[in-house]
Structure 1
């Protein structure tokens, strides 16, 4: 059975719950803007970006290591045990970093408006996601990624319900938004307890860290570290050099684009186990076939979605955009839409790199991060938001071309 045929049978539930999760995310963004305002929503996005950067700095990406070594037929209990050890250690470090940030964040002028309680409340969400790393990697290795998607959907639904409850009984602001994220973490705990049980964590005398697990995790960690800058630094640049209000508009446009990404985002985790197996057995043609066919479908869906959403923005009355000129709204949305289009076409790069050599991802993302720090940041500081909105899609095009050239030269890859 081909990889594509095997995976298609599982995509229905994955896409269904991913679509619902994306829809809830978009609805929540509209609610945040309507009931909290751009300023409060922008403050939360800034907090989310700052904590997210700290999370990526300490994150070891154990889910990828657990998936990789599980597919290579290592002792399963030792693989799970290795992941749990790393997750607990990283969660501890993250806790220390958050407490340092809590005591010193108000030294920065751009962050002085963020409430201290919001920092602690939101930090509970990424803390739980760190501990969930091994569980997620195990589910992906067992080709049960749909369970991960369903858990994420339930977490999003809890945030939506909590938000309505707060609006009805209290006031929505960046602190209460952070509270909804803290509440939604409880859905992860049953699976976390199950993973600890499967690892036989109490039997330390008979458990070992799998050889090579540490070095592999370090490589994926470094790759994730520089990639985090590519994901978060655009929000940070806007927050520090343009302002929270514009950041709220920029993030809202991202949420409008988000529904199309649910078709692409699961592919990386779904195909990763197959990429590992096929690379280990030298069956490169199956991997190439998956990438080529997916690119055609993705491009078609992107064009349809772009046409529909641009028409909707032009012709449908949307009170959430009050306060901004029509030309500015379209400019921001097209910048975000084009950027996301290039990003979606690189879905296969991470699992392929992790199956071959995690350093490939590190090299490309380092170039991207340098582009942000050396080009986008200084030019935005001097020339403002218009140039920023032009540079972001160009940098994502650069990322796509780098992957194409690098993989073509190293693996004779024909796209």
Structure 2
């Protein structure tokens, strides 16, 4: 290698070395520009410049927090949902007439059977026995059936001719007389002697007693009465909740006690609350009980005695399931011996063709049917009207 070659090689090495040095210095300067400034000189968000987006938009942690008291809400902001509107029960007058079609659908076998038999050209002994069978199958009862048939036979003999309209009019008169149009079916629910009327509602399990109390509250509210409910059925967990729900729908308060508590104590406190609130009537729901359980029946008697420390009980309503037929008479008899029943409430009357239970239970207890249940609707509890009831039996 000669001198020229050495010179060329040296120049090449020098150029490469200078280029490498320049690149390293340039990269170092670039990296230094990308590093954040020292903490002492770092800009402070919200102080050295206005917050922007991203992390810079956050409120500095040392900013004083405002309490809820200093926050002004717009006028249209609602802090809680408004209470639901109270229901307005249907008027009580004529309720049974409005429900007549519902009652008639289940009672047509009784009415049609009697009309068909009495419209025959000739009524012999066999025909009259059939009349008796129709009445007995409808749970009218033996003695009331015999009395009705005897009156019908006498009037048919006197009448002579029997047109369909004459037979219908005749049968209607006799059935209304049998049901008892002169019985006092009014409810004693008026405030008196400076205290509310007290209504004790009793019955066996499964008759719809608590529901009946709730519906009765609606009947009374429809008559513009101030009502208070007493949930003295402390043995069934859902009974008090169910009753309270019925009351809330129409703005009626409920007095209740602990589950499994003393029902007599709850009933006493309910009447006491009714006196203090100057209510018109207090409805006390008692626990359903079997009529053959002496201990439970004795406890029912205790409830009545404890309530009477405030004054006499004005009404004792016995709730009976109309579909139970003659078994309902056994229940009625036992309850009447314990608490002196003053009126009957027949539920599920639209679900049975045994409408004669109205007559039978009145004869058994000597007290009237005052209310009847004709469906599951909230306003399907109606004051009993003999004429409307018989019209439903004889409906076309």
Q: TM-score range by the shorter chain?
A: under 0.3
- TM-score scaled by length of structure 2: 0.21
Greater strand fraction, Structure 1 or Structure 2: 2
Higher Rg: 2
- TM-score scaled by length of structure 1: 0.20
Greater helix fraction, Structure 1 or Structure 2: 1
